[in-house]
Amino acid sequence: MKKIFTIVACCLLTFMVVAENKDKIEIPLRFDRYYTYEDVVEALKLLHSTYPQLTKLDLVGKSEEGREIYALTINNPKTGEPLTKPGVYIDGNIHGNEIQAGEVCLYFANMLLTKYSDNDKITKVVDKNAYYIIPVVNVDGRYHFFKDAQTSSSDRSFRIPKDDDRDGLVDEDGPDDLDGDGNICMMRIKDPLGNYKTDPEDNRLMIPVKPGEKGEWTLLGEEGIDNDGDGKINEDGEGYFDANRNWGYDWQPNYVQSGAGSFPLEALGIKAIAAYIHQRPNIIVNFAFHNSGGMWLRAPSIKEEKVDPRDVAVYDLIGKNATKITPGTVYQPSYDLYDTHGDSDSHMFFLEGSYTFVGELFMRSQETYRDNINKPLTPASDSESSSSRRGGNPEESREQLKFNDYLGLNELYKPWKPFKHPTYGDIEIGGWVKMSGRLPHPFMLPDLVHRNAMVVLYAAEQTPEISMEIFDVKEIGKNLHQVRIRLKNEKGLPSMSSKAMSTKLYTPDMLKVTGAKVVASGKITDIRTNKISYQEHKPEIIYTSVPSYGYSEYQFLVEGKGEVKVNYISRKAGNIVKTLKL
Output the domain CATH number for residue 283.
Answer: 3.40.630.10
CB neighbours (10 Å) of residue 507? Answer: 12
Q: Tell whether 269 and 321 lie within a shared domain.
A: yes
Final residue belonging to a domain, choices 426, 461, 496: 461
518 beta partners: 558
Final residue belonging to a domain, choices 440, 475, 493: 440
Q: Tell whether 315 and 230 lie within a shared domain.
A: no
Q: Is residue 14 part of a domain?
A: no
The beta strands (E) that lie in 25-138 are given as 55-62, 68-74, 87-92, 130-134
Q: Tell whether 315 and 380 lie within a shared domain.
A: no
Q: Is residue 13 part of a domain?
A: no
Residues 152-164 as b/e (b if ≥16 CB within 10 A, e otherwise) read bbbbbbbbbebeb
Q: What is the pLDDT of residue 22?
A: 54
522 vs 318: CA distance, rounded Å? 32
Q: Tell whether 426 and 332 lie within a shared domain.
A: no
Side-chain-facing half-sphere of 227: CA atoms under 13 Å: 18
Q: Tell whether 41 and 135 lie within a shared domain.
A: yes
What DSSP assignment string belongs to 512-571?
EEESSEEEEEEEEEETTTTEEEE-SS-TTEEEE---TT-EEEEEEEEES-SEEEEEEEET
Residues 404-429 as b/e (b if ≥16 CB within 10 A, e otherwise) read beeebeeebbbebeebebeeeeebbb
Into how many domains does the chain fold?
Answer: 3
Q: What is the pLDDT of residues 33-60, one digit of tens each?
A: 999 999 999 999 999 999 999 999 999 9
pTM for the predicted model, two decimal places: 0.92
Q: What is the pLDDT of residue 238?
A: 79
Cα separation values, 264 from 90, 138, 179, 251, 278, Å: 21, 16, 40, 6, 15
254 burial type by CB count under 10 A (0-12 exposed, 13-18 middle, 19+ buried): middle
Final residue belonging to a domain, choices 430, 461, 492: 461
Q: What is the pLDDT of residue 240?
A: 81
257 vs 2: CA distance, rounded Å? 71
Cα separation values, 435 from 174, 281, 431, Å: 19, 38, 12
Q: Is residue 11 part of a domain?
A: no
Q: Tell whether 141 and 281 lie within a shared domain.
A: yes
The dihedral of CA 267, 269, 272, 276: what is its sign? negative
501 beta partners: none
The dihedral of CA 439, 442, 447, 449: what is its sign? positive
Q: Is residue 251 part of a domain?
A: no
CB neighbours (10 Å) of residue 371? Answer: 6
Q: Is residue 563 part of a domain?
A: yes
Residue-number span of the structural domain to which 281 is assigned: 33-145+256-364+449-461
- Which residues does the chain have with pLDDT short of 50? 1-21, 380-392
Q: Tell whether 453 and 340 lie within a shared domain.
A: yes
39 vs 13: CA distance, rounded Å? 24
470 beta partners: 485
Looking only at the bridges linking them, the beta strands covering 55-62 and 68-74 are antiparallel
Q: Tell whether 127 and 272 lie within a shared domain.
A: yes
Q: Is residue 555 part of a domain?
A: yes
Identify the CA nearest to 558 among candidates 546, 566, 569: 566
Q: Is residue 521 part of a domain?
A: yes
Residues 6+ apart with CB under 8 A from 262: none
Given a contact cutoff of 8 angstroms between Cβ atoms, the answer to whether 463 and 128 are in contact is yes
Q: Is residue 154 part of a domain?
A: no
Q: Tell whether 379 and 416 lie within a shared domain.
A: yes
Q: Tell whether 404 and 525 lie within a shared domain.
A: no
The beta strands (E) that lie in 407-508 are given as 413-421, 425-432, 466-477, 480-489
Output the domain CATH number for residue 524.
Answer: 2.60.40.10
**In 3-state terms, what secondary structure has residue 484?**
strand
Q: Tell whether 49 and 117 lie within a shared domain.
A: yes
Q: What is the pLDDT of residues 330-362, one digit of tens each?
A: 999 999 999 999 999 999 999 999 999 999 999
Q: Tell whether 561 and 474 lie within a shared domain.
A: yes
Looking only at the bridges linking them, the beta strands covering 186-190 and 55-62 are unpaired
508 vs 107: CA distance, rounded Å? 34
